[in-house]
Amino acid sequence: MHKIPVTVVTGFLGSGKTTLVRHLLQNNQGRRIAVLVNEFGEVGIDGEILKSCQVCDEDETPDTKILELANGCLCCTVQEEFLPTMQTLLKRREDIDCIVIETSGLALPKPLVQAFRWPEIRTGATVDGVVTVVDGNALAKGQIVGALEALESQRQADDSLDHETPIEELFEDQLACADMVLLTKTDVMSEDNRLKVQRWLQQKAPTGVKVVPCQQGEISPDILLGFNAAVEDDLDSRHSHHDHEEEHEHDDHLESVYVELDKAFEPAVLVQRLQSLVKQQEIYRIKGFVSVPNKAMRLVLQGVGQRFDHFYDRPWQADESRQTRLVVIGSELDKETVTQAMAGTA
């Protein structure tokens, strides 16, 4: 039996991983791609965004193609969720051409790749390649992630964190494990800044690893897939700051608030309210779906720090409730305050 090639997409929150995977599904060139989304929150917003690509066969439910691991960082839950999920996929190997795993923004890539050495997986799947997604616009401003200050202050506040502090080490580990580095947000960068960031990343990346500019996740599957790297057999050459750590912890204070409102919003008004909310509370990420007045299309909204992006993904279904649903991820969040700020009643 052939081994299913697996592509691991890693990178910090807001770097553009979901946008990349979404574009891949929409332009699969006939490939049957199974996607594992490592989500954080009460609802799988990233998973729903991917399902909205509408590439699943009509006689199949989206869940047969897109699986969500919702119990935190994937590299911390490989035994609890990842193994049984992979075993389920391997039973359907004749229906799948490749698997894409989108890790959370907190995940170390090496522990995940090491799981492909397990006997239960090794005979049926191989890590074809690791793609590290990097926010070029943030790097041009001297930051590793767009919301670096908030992220660092949250992480530094918890003495139990190990692989997440300092954040520079996690970034170096993501680069060290990469077979390709995707430089995103290049559409909002000057050409001079893009070239400077690209040269800097090329020096940091392992020898021979290409840094490829990418806008809105638009990259050919022929470039993204098919490295044939068998990464699980090559881990010794991909040095990490955490090679000798047997386990790690994530921040127990990281939490999510799910807000559902029977209300439509003008995008500019809602974004302005959310930007004000980010200044008031320790918020790292906001994402979800918005009902817009007099619009038949559903709006997808994603925000990191003060930066918000939105686009219309598909029409509202006839049997679907036109609600605004957002997941807010941060520390010590107050749901009532978040809800009131969104509704404009604060």
Residue 216: domain span = 4-224
**Strand 125-135, strand 210-213: pairing:** unpaired
Least confident of 56-60, 296-300, 315-319: 56-60
Query: The domain spanning residue 314 has which CATH number?
Result: 3.30.1220.10
Question: Mean of the pLDDT values across residues 135-150?
Answer: 74
Question: Mean of the pLDDT values across residues 301-318?
Answer: 86
- Residues with Cβ within 8 Å of 113's Cβ and at least 6 positions away in sequence, in order, are 8, 127, 130, 177, 231, 232, 235
**Strand 282-290, strand 297-304: pairing:** antiparallel
Res. 12: pLDDT tops 90? no
CA distance 240 to 163: 10
CA distance 48 to 137: 26
In this structure, is residue 75 part of a structural domain? yes
Q: Is the peptide bond before 293 cis (omega within 30 degrees of 0)?
A: no
The angle subtended at Cα 54 by Cα 49 and Cα 60, nearest 5°, is 110
Q: Examine the domain organization and report whether 152 and 273 are in the same domain.
A: no
Least confident of 71-75, 218-222, 224-228: 71-75
> What are the pLDDT digits (tens) for 33-54?
888 887 666 567 777 877 777 6
In this structure, is residue 243 part of a structural domain? no
CA 208 vs. chain centroid, Å, equals: 25
Q: Examine the domain organization and report whether 112 and 149 are in the same domain.
A: yes
Which pLDDT belongs to residue 324?
94
Q: Examine the domain organization and report whether 171 and 276 are in the same domain.
A: no
Higher confidence at residue 56 or residue 235? 235
Q: Examine the domain organization and report whether 199 and 233 are in the same domain.
A: no
Q: Examine the domain organization and report whether 215 and 233 are in the same domain.
A: no
Q: Examine the domain organization and report whether 278 and 336 are in the same domain.
A: yes
Res. 163: pLDDT tops 50? no
In this structure, is residue 244 part of a structural domain? no
In this structure, is residue 57 part of a structural domain? yes
Q: How far apart are the first and last CA of the chain?
A: 59
In this structure, is residue 82 part of a structural domain? yes
Res. 136: pLDDT tops 70? yes
Which pLDDT belongs to residue 183?
94
In this structure, is residue 51 part of a structural domain? yes
Mean pLDDT for all residues in the chain: 80
Query: The domain spanning residue 60 has which CATH number?
Result: 3.40.50.300
CA distance 5 to 130: 11
Q: Is residue 186 within 8 Å of 171, Cβ to Cβ? A: no
What's the token pair of residue 252? Answer: 């127990």
Q: Is residue 264 within 8 Å of 322, Cβ to Cβ? A: yes
How many structural domains does the chain have? Answer: 2
Q: Examine the domain organization and report whether 307 and 323 are in the same domain.
A: yes
Instruction: Tell me which residue of 183, 180, 81, 83 sits closest to 131, measured CA to CA.
Output: 180
Neighbours of 218 (CB within 10 A): 13
Q: Examine the domain organization and report whether 209 and 265 are in the same domain.
A: no
- Residues with Cβ within 8 Å of 202's Cβ and at least 6 positions away in sequence, in order, are 211
**Strand 307-315, strand 297-304: pairing:** antiparallel
